[in-house]
Amino acid sequence: MVDSPRYTPKLANQLEKLGGARYMFLTHIDDVADHRKWAERLKCERIIHSGDVEDITADVEWKLTGNGPWNIGTDFELIHTPGHTEVICLLYKPLKALFTGDHVAKSEESDDLNLFLMYSKQSVDVQLDSIRKLLDFNFEWFLPGHGYRIRYEDVYAKNSAIEALLADYTN
Ligand SMILES: [Zn+2]
């Protein structure tokens, strides 16, 4: 499970029918609402970056430290992308999909990427370094916590979009 939807018994039943969840991956400190209820019900282990541990996330099982990346098995890789908060993005390699939390999403008006810098808790430079990091990873989907998802044709198209975003901010 990525991030924490509002807990309802109905949704929990449906998830259990699908096989439950082994991990609850919290991209960052926002939108964690009912993580404790989910962890108790599904017996999943929660993961967050230690920089995003506050009272509300103090009991999370895995607190990642440092800059990663971290691997879970062969299918998942966690990428530290600070900026908005100490965000970690989750790369699901079999589908070439990156869950970005609130790090980056599609603009409403166009197919361009948007960093939502107005919500950033750290410097623009930190956030740009984080987006630059994503050039090194093989994925085609951006799946954000809010807003619109994007699928690029291939990893080259994804990288062009990132380069365009970086150029926008460095001009
Ligand atoms: Zn957020």
Give the pLDDT score at 155: 97
Backbone angles phi, psi at 167, to 5 degrees: -65, -40
Give the pLDDT score at 20: 96
Q: How far is CA 159 from the centre of its chain?
A: 18
Please state, in angstroms and rounded to a whole number, the distance separating the CA atoms of residues 115 and 124: 9
Rounded to the nearest angstrom, the distance between the alpha carbon of 145 and the centre of ligand 1 is 8
Give the pLDDT score at 97: 98
Rounded to the nearest angstrom, the distance between the alpha carbon of 119 and the centre of ligand 1 is 7
Side-chain-facing half-sphere of 49: CA atoms under 13 Å: 25
Tell me the one-letter amino acid at 80: H
Q: Which residues of 29-56 are buried (b: 16+ CB within 10 A; e: fewer)?
A: bbebeebbebbebbebebbbbebbbeee
Give the pLDDT score at 115: 80
Rounded to the nearest angstrom, the distance between the alpha carbon of 129 and the centre of ligand 1 is 18
Rounded to the nearest angstrom, the distance between the alpha carbon of 105 and the centre of ligand 1 is 12
- What separation, in Å, do the N-terminal and C-terminal C-alpha atoms of the chain show? 38
Q: What is the full per-residue pLDDT of the chain (171 aa) written as tens digits? A: 999 999 999 999 999 999 999 999 999 998 898 999 999 999 999 999 999 999 999 999 999 999 999 999 999 999 999 999 999 999 999 999 999 988 887 777 777 888 877 777 888 889 999 999 999 999 999 999 888 889 999 999 999 999 999 998 887
Instruction: List the domain boundaries for the chain.
Output: 9-170
Please state, in angstroms and rounded to a whole number, the distance separating the CA atoms of residues 17 and 130: 37
Rounded to the nearest angstrom, the distance between the alpha carbon of 42 and the centre of ligand 1 is 24
Rounded to the nearest angstrom, the distance between the alpha carbon of 33 and the centre of ligand 1 is 12
Give the pLDDT score at 132: 95
Q: Which CATH number fits domain 9-170: 3.30.390.10, 3.65.10.10, 3.60.15.10, 3.40.47.10?
A: 3.60.15.10
Distances (CA, A) of 32 to 15, 113, 127, 128: 18, 24, 21, 25
